Chains A and B, each alone.
Chain A
Amino acid sequence: MTPRYLPYVLILPVTLFLGVFFLYPFALVAKQAFTTGGGFTLDNFREVVGYWKFPISLKNTMLLAAIVVPVQLALALLMATMVNRMQKGRDLVLYVWTIPLGISDLAAGIIWLAIFEQSGFLNSMMTGLGLVDQPITLLGYQNPWLVFAAIALAEIWRATAIMLVILVAGIGLIPKEYYEAAEVFGASPWKRFVKITLPLLRPSLQTALILRVVLAFEVFAVVVALGGTLFPVLMGQIYSYQFDLMNGGGAAALALIVLAISVVFTLIILRALRVPKGATI
């Protein structure tokens, strides 16, 4: 075997795997989205976009992402900075903080449901403290903002750690000497964070943000557990097209729309956090 072909031979199994289990199904979904009974058509797209729940679920998904991702980013940066400065117990703290990562999103939703539901911990605590006379319905149609807040909270609790681990690794790669130089040349701790940490963290920030934003558009199980039908999101709509309405074409079309949104945001993040030409980070 000549060394020239060796790399290609080595990546062949992975390529085959991706081809069979990802590209091929993806092509099928795309085909399904662009056909009904006959030939090529945009009917599926027209149908799902025209449905009254589409604007609401799009708005909800976007709103949730717009609130959750920045909070997670800020929290993850704060936590990563703290962990990085710890002399002792760093690994223990990191393990504890990443526990939610090991819990499935549905389980996470149920944990938070146990807190917020009518017979949940929060109500027991409030009645026990005498704040309310009897348990109140927190996650009902009367409190749409509370439903939203509970979902946002559960999402933040569940998925901040994925950004955290990426950022901790990224911050760990920044040489200490840069901070010392910045300190000697008069940069305050905040300035060091803004002028050194953030710019040098750009590659990690890109990865963390893309991953998190794409996952935020795919939010589903937590929303189902806490909001049910009160808070429709795009993924919920795809589920209901596929399994409730038995409309595979509609589900496929909506899935492609979510994909398109994800691609657009990925490009925006890549562009916004690009490293200037010539700079090596």
Chain B
Amino acid sequence: MAEIQIKGVAKSFGSYTALHDINLTIQDQEFVVLLGASGCGKTTLLRIVAGLETATTGEVWIGGKRVDHLPPKDRGIAMVFQNYAVFPHLTVFENIGFGLRMKKLPNDEVKRRVERTAGLMHIEQLLGRYSGELSGGQRQRVAVARALAMEPDVILMDEPLSNLDALLRMEMRAELKGVLAESNTTAIYVTHDQVEAMSMADRISVMHQGRIVQAASPIEVYRNPAAEFVAGFIGNPPMNFLPATPQGGGRWAVAGQVLDGPQTPKALKFAIRPEDLRLADHGLQAVAKVIEPLGAHLLVTCDVNGALFRAVLDSDLSVKPGDTLTLAPQSDRIRWFDPETTRAVA
């Protein structure tokens, strides 16, 4: 059992506060992705869990034991670093076995575990090589094998795929997910890549300016973003926003259209995902500006009442810049945000 509890963790570097009061509980064997733009504090949070950084305040518990005062080696964790940190002066075998040697495991046990994890990562044939003789993808596999060989309770990954090319990243994503699911470890995975987060995570914790904005399943984060930031960050292209003025009785005026919405007297923002728009007889009047054929779809960037607005439409459609489209939002997919608090309004 290795449940991770992060309780009231904050971190300041001088006058700069990198993390504000972070609270997060990660279930045993759960795969949690910390997602955010660079500088949002996700790596700092991971390093605090690893013990490479000390929290200014707050507690970290792993497997029911408070660990924030313990050195990394006593926390039952293993880590995969962004630049792999595969030791250049050791062979792949000795790299994978490094932690086991530090634990002073007998030679045959080291050999058994190294060969087993090398097999899992398909690098058995590379055991005698040095890191300088490996490709980026192979080095990445060594870094993961080194972490798995420790048979840790918790595996921490800091943007492990960010240095790979796109095709390899997609391949490794699936493979890593499979290997981690089999290893029964709890995993925290830091990335700025929303596709990685969506495809791998059991739960995504979206971070922004040192705070967790939303922690929920990928589909929940996608469908029901808790804040404007999440709506704008997740999804490619991101959600569209338009100002909405209350007409009373839960009716809202959005770019000349009247739509049903929440019962509140305050001004709100209307939001809709580009793929939740359909061409219809009644709807938002959008002037097409840029048309980008993406093969499967057509991405149309338009102007709605002076605001930037994107729609993902059927690729068979013929649209030219300057055409006026009538776009109807799918009513159950419309979301509303309070412009003052930036939070979602139900």
- Shortest A223–chain B CB gap in Å is 39
- Shortest A229–chain B CB gap in Å is 48
| B89 part of interface (Cβ distance < 8 Å) | yes
| B323 part of interface (Cβ distance < 8 Å) | no
Residues of chain B lying within 8 A (CB to CB) of residue A278: 129-130, 132-133
Residues of chain A lying within 8 A (CB to CB) of residue B232: none
A187 touches B102 (CB 8 A): yes
Residues of chain A lying within 8 A (CB to CB) of residue B89: 199-200, 202, 275-276, 279, 281
Most chain A Cβ neighbours within 10 Å, of B77, B81, B88: B88
Q: Residues of B within 8 Å of A, CB-based: how many? A: 28
For A258-280 the 0/1 string (1 means CB < 8 A from B) is 00000000000000000110111
| A91 part of interface (Cβ distance < 8 Å) | no
| B window 162-215: CB within 8 A of A | none
- Shortest A185–chain B CB gap in Å is 3
29 contacts between A and B (CB under 8 A): A175-B83, A177-B83, A177-B85, A178-B85, A180-B52, A181-B85, A182-B98, A183-B73, A184-B50, A184-B52, A184-B72, A184-B79, A184-B99, A185-B102, A186-B73, A186-B99, A186-B103, A187-B98, A195-B98, A200-B88, A202-B89, A275-B89, A276-B89, A278-B129, A279-B88, A279-B89, A279-B90, A279-B131, A281-B88
Residues of chain B lying within 8 A (CB to CB) of residue A49: none
Within the complex, which residue of B50, B83, B99, B130 is in contact with A280, where a contact is CB–CB below 8 Å? B130
B85 touches A191 (CB 8 A): no
Residues of chain B lying within 8 A (CB to CB) of residue A281: 88-89
B77 touches A184 (CB 8 A): yes
Q: Which 9 A-B pairs have the closest CB atoms?
A: A280-B132, A185-B99, A186-B102, A181-B85, A186-B73, A177-B85, A199-B89, A279-B130, A278-B130
- Shortest B125–chain A CB gap in Å is 15
Residue numbers of B with Cβ under 8 A of A are 50-52, 71-73, 77-79, 81-83, 85, 87-90, 98-99, 102-103, 129-133, 146, 150
Residues of chain B lying within 8 A (CB to CB) of residue A71: none
| A window 59-77: CB within 8 A of B | none
Within the complex, which residue of A181, A195, A196 is in contact with B81, where a contact is CB–CB below 8 Å? A181
Residues of chain A lying within 8 A (CB to CB) of residue B81: 177, 180-181
Q: Could you tell me the distance between the alpha carbons of A202 and B88 in the complex, rounded to whole angstroms?
A: 12
Q: Could you tell me the distance between the alpha carbons of A100 and B147 in the complex, rounded to whole angstroms?
A: 47
Residues of chain A lying within 8 A (CB to CB) of residue B82: 177
Residues of chain A lying within 8 A (CB to CB) of residue B146: 185
Residues of chain B lying within 8 A (CB to CB) of residue A276: 89, 130
- Shortest A87–chain B CB gap in Å is 12
A180 nearest in chain B by CB position = B52
Q: Could you tell me the distance between the alpha carbons of A93 and B70 in the complex, rounded to whole angstroms?
A: 32
Most chain A Cβ neighbours within 10 Å, of B51, B71, B87, B150: B87
B87 nearest in chain A by CB position = A178
Q: Could you tell me the distance between the alpha carbons of A279 and B130 in the complex, rounded to whole angstroms?
A: 5
Also in contact, A280 and B88, with CB within 8 A (given A185-B99, A187-B102): yes
Q: Could you tell me the distance between the alpha carbons of A156 and B252 in the complex, rounded to whole angstroms?
A: 84
- Shortest A197–chain B CB gap in Å is 11
Residues of chain A lying within 8 A (CB to CB) of residue B72: 183-184
B75 nearest in chain A by CB position = A184
Residues of chain B lying within 8 A (CB to CB) of residue A196: 87
Residues of chain A lying within 8 A (CB to CB) of residue B77: 184
Q: Could you tell me the distance between the alpha carbons of A184 and B76 in the complex, rounded to whole angstroms?
A: 9
A183 touches B132 (CB 8 A): no
Q: Could you tell me the distance between the alpha carbons of A279 and B83 in the complex, rounded to whole angstroms?
A: 17
Q: Could you tell me the distance between the alpha carbons of A19 and B77 in the complex, rounded to whole angstroms?
A: 60
A181 touches B73 (CB 8 A): no
Within the complex, which residue of B52, B88, B90, B150 is in contact with A183, where a contact is CB–CB below 8 Å? B52
Residues of chain A lying within 8 A (CB to CB) of residue B79: 180-181, 184
Residues of chain A lying within 8 A (CB to CB) of residue B133: 278
Q: Could you tell me the distance between the alpha carbons of A279 and B52 in the complex, rounded to whole angstroms?
A: 27
- Shortest B123–chain A CB gap in Å is 16
A184 touches B102 (CB 8 A): no
Q: Could you tell me the distance between the alpha carbons of A165 and B286 in the complex, rounded to whole angstroms?
A: 67
Q: Could you tell me the distance between the alpha carbons of A184 and B131 in the complex, rounded to whole angstroms?
A: 19
B130 touches A181 (CB 8 A): no
